[in-house]
Amino acid sequence: MVRQEERRARTKAAILQAATESFGTLGFIATSVDAIASRANVAKGAVYHHFRNKEELFECVFETVSSNVAAAVAASAKPNLGPLENMTLTTERYFELCADPPTARITLQDGPSVLGYERWRELDTAHFGGLVTAGLTSAMEAGAIVEQPVAPLSNIVLAAIQAAALDCAVQEDFAEAASRYLRSFEAILSGLARDT
């Protein structure tokens, strides 16, 4: 029984890896279930055994990629920096990671259209909303920004970052577009800063 569960887990992991590579390089529309099965070295039926359809498989890939990006963003914070500096640093890291073409294709280009904007925003918020809320809460607790209700402010800041990332994903040079947005983001944070 244990061996069978291990085999299933290995098969599912191989399918997810193959799907991540295919969705990241070819995009959702150009990727077929047959191609994913072939790349994973499994039968097409094995893909459908683990996932109802290509959309469900894509959502699982999206969740994994977003989760990895969120973990890397969180890990980029530096304990010796102030909360506003860390928010700038982690947002910059987010844009750096999203500039990777396969990541951008999965999370920003295909994500909203395949999942639907509402579902995409819900999943994206689940991964990144907590980071924004934690950063703003930390800034308020440190006296770096004026105290105010954190939930609406967090929603506004996160929505701004999401909109910027979506726009960067359709630009010819993601990194160049992101650098312009980062300057604006720094200006927004400066505007929130408590006068000393």
At residue 27, the 3 state secondary structure works out as coil
Question: What percent of the chain is predicted at pLDDT more than 90?
Answer: 90
Phi/psi of residue 31, nearest 5 degrees: -95, 125
pLDDT tens digits, 119-149: 999 999 999 999 999 999 999 999 999 899 9
Residue 192's pLDDT is what?
86
pLDDT tens digits, 88-125: 999 999 999 999 999 999 999 999 999 999 999 999 99
Helices (H), the chain: 2-26, 33-40, 44-50, 54-75, 83-98, 101-104, 111-115, 117-141, 150-169, 174-192
Q: Is the pLDDT of residue 1 over 70?
A: no
